[in-house]
Amino acid sequence: MPDYPSILQSIHGEILAERPEGKLATYIPGLAKVAPDQFGICLHTASGEDFLAGDSEVPFSIQSITKVLLLAMLASTEGDSIWQRVGVEPSGNPFNSLVQLEYEKGIPRNPFINAGALVVCDLLLGLYDDPESNFLKFVQRISGIPEIHYDRSVAKSEREVAYRNLALLNLMKDFGNIHQDVDAIIRFYCTACSISMSCRHLARTFALFMNHGILDGGEEILSINKAKRINALMQTCGFYDESGEFAFRVGLPGKSGVGGGIAAVHPGRYSVAVWSPPLNPKGNSAAGLRALERLTDLTGNSIF
């Protein structure tokens, strides 16, 4: 096994010295208040050990990382019908883009752009009477961490400015690809994005995807085929129009969020979460991307 404690320490030191440049996501007022200088990383191994550096126990808003968890909850009970409503191709466009929906007749390119995650929320609303509480229970169960919670003030602040997500929903509804009430979907989506977790929480949660869909105790949440597909989607679509760059520099399936978090997995070996709020122009954590690049370089361990 690589010497993870010293590798994480040196990554932490390099990031503090380099301070990769970025800007906070201010379009969600609740995220604009976060202290930008924080950096944390947690690596969780297949044998169950956690290695930590920096602000790895500080909770932050996971934002779009939640899209992987929403899809996992949906896929845990549903089959291939999901893929009639949302595609599996990289979009090559920003996370909140509207352009492709018009000529692709309301079918989003993939479940990790906003339009796709909104369709996943629509499907979940059709399956559960109280999807907010079912989703939180699902995340608590797969992480094994009962204190994980929603940050209601972040959810509310996003809901108040959710014009673009409402536009995506209305356009898809016009094409017949949204079945539930648009306001109920926005409410559920913003709440799901507001989940608050630390790097340690997130690395443990993503152990499910490292472990091919099986929880530590042996319970199967996703079949091996479904876990493979979710990892493949993270690899090709997890970073929007920067997915190629992430594969090129880091070489792990992963997912970012505008709260500055990134979760990634090396199937069979480790899950890792990193957090630093300032974002690069594509909306991905600048220091987070750099830290994960250093991790796969220093350990010599990417999926490639």
Chain residues that interact with ligand GLN, rule: CB under 6 A? 63-64, 95-96, 114, 158, 165, 193, 257-258, 283
Name the residue with the smallest CB distance to ligand GLN: 64
Q: Contact 204/146 with Cβ under 8 angstroms? A: no
Token duo for residue 16:
């503090």
> Is the Cβ of residue 194 or residue 211 nearer to ligand GLN in the bound state?
194
Closest distance of CB 167 from ligand GLN, Å:
12
> Is the Cβ of residue 22 or residue 213 nearer to ligand GLN in the bound state?
22
Cα(64)–Cα(72) distance, rounded to whole angstroms? 14
| 2 alpha carbon, distance to own chain's centre | 26
Closest distance of CB 191 from ligand GLN, Å:
10
- Sorted by sequence, the CB contacts under 8 Å of residue 1 that are 6+ apart come out as 45
Burial class from Cβ neighbours inside 10 Å (0-12, 13-18, 19+) for residue 182 reads middle
Instruction: Judge whether 88 is annotated as a binding position.
Output: no
Q: Contact 271/264 with Cβ under 8 angstroms? A: yes
Q: Which residue has the tokens 């994960």?
A: 292
Instruction: Judge whether 240 is annotated as a binding position.
Output: yes
Strand ranges (E), the chain: 40-45, 50-54, 60-61, 149-150, 195-197, 254-256, 261-266, 270-275
Instruction: Judge whether 114 is annotated as a binding position.
Output: yes
Burial class from Cβ neighbours inside 10 Å (0-12, 13-18, 19+) for residue 299 reads middle
Instruction: Judge whether 284 is annotated as a binding position.
Output: no
Closest distance of CB 279 from ligand GLN, Å:
9
> Is the Cβ of residue 114 or residue 271 nearer to ligand GLN in the bound state?
114
Closest distance of CB 301 from ligand GLN, Å:
27
Positions marked active-site: 64, 67, 189, 240, 258
> Is the Cβ of residue 52 or residue 118 nearer to ligand GLN in the bound state?
118
Instruction: Judge whether 258 is annotated as a binding position.
Output: yes
- List, as residue ranges, the binding site: 64, 114, 158, 165, 189, 240, 258
- List, as residue ranges, the binding site for substrate: 64, 114, 158, 165, 189, 240, 258
